[in-house]
Structure 1
């Protein structure tokens, strides 16, 4: 078994996995704070780190049908949110390639 590489983010405000405290995203990467996740409020991020993606899955979300991947913390494997792989409605295409992190699963430090 190899060593786990963990990327540490610079800057004063960083989101970390609530369970294991590994960096997950920088506040500078927030696209929107106005999203709903499985467990309440969620943030849409342009880029996240220290995560693994689950398989593609079609889901009917509040904004319509999307192909998504669950986003797991690469350290503790907790599900933190999901990644938008494909949006089927033209008005939702801006989400493709972006990440949802659930406020209940991450903590802001700084």
Structure 2
């Protein structure tokens, strides 16, 4: 197996893993702060880097049934949130392909 390379982000505000400070997303890729994760507040992002996706699973959430994949930091393996693969409710389809990152697992990195 080859070496793992991480992508480094640039910008005015960068969110990283609270455990190892690996860059994950920028403020510009944030869509909403009005989400809840498994451990409190969460943010919806359009794009996230330096994560490993788990296997898809169907979950019943407060907004309906979704197919999601847990996402993990590529460096330390910390579970950071999930990716929406499919939303079964038509009003929730905007989430497909988007990422949820849990606020208490993030830190500002610069």
Asked if Structure 1 and Structure 2 have the same fold, meaning a TM-score greater than 0.5 normalized by the shorter chain, the answer is: yes
Give 1:49-64 correspondences, 5 Å limit: 49-64=49-64
Unaligned runs of 5+ in 2: none
Unaligned runs of 5+ in 1: none
Alpha-carbon separation, structure 2, partners of 1:68 and 1:32: 18
Q: Is the 8 A contact 2:21 2:109 kept in 1?
A: no
Query: What is the alpha-carbon root mean square deviation over aligned residues?
Result: 0.9
> What is aligned with 1:67?
67
| TM-score when normalising by structure 2 | 0.97
> What is aligned with 1:12?
12
> What is aligned with 1:29?
29
Secondary structure in 2 matching 1:55: strand
- How many residue pairs match? The answer is 110
TM-aligned CA deviation for residue 104 of structure 1: 1.0
Alpha-carbon separation, structure 1, partners of 2:91 and 2:58: 17
> What is aligned with 2:91?
91
Q: Which runs of 4+ in 1 moved over 4 A?
A: none
Alpha-carbon separation, structure 2, partners of 1:72 and 1:109: 18
Q: Is the 8 A contact 2:17 2:105 kept in 1?
A: yes
Deviations 1:19-65 (A, max 9, x none): 01000001100010000000100000000000010000000111110
| TM-score when normalising by structure 1 | 0.97
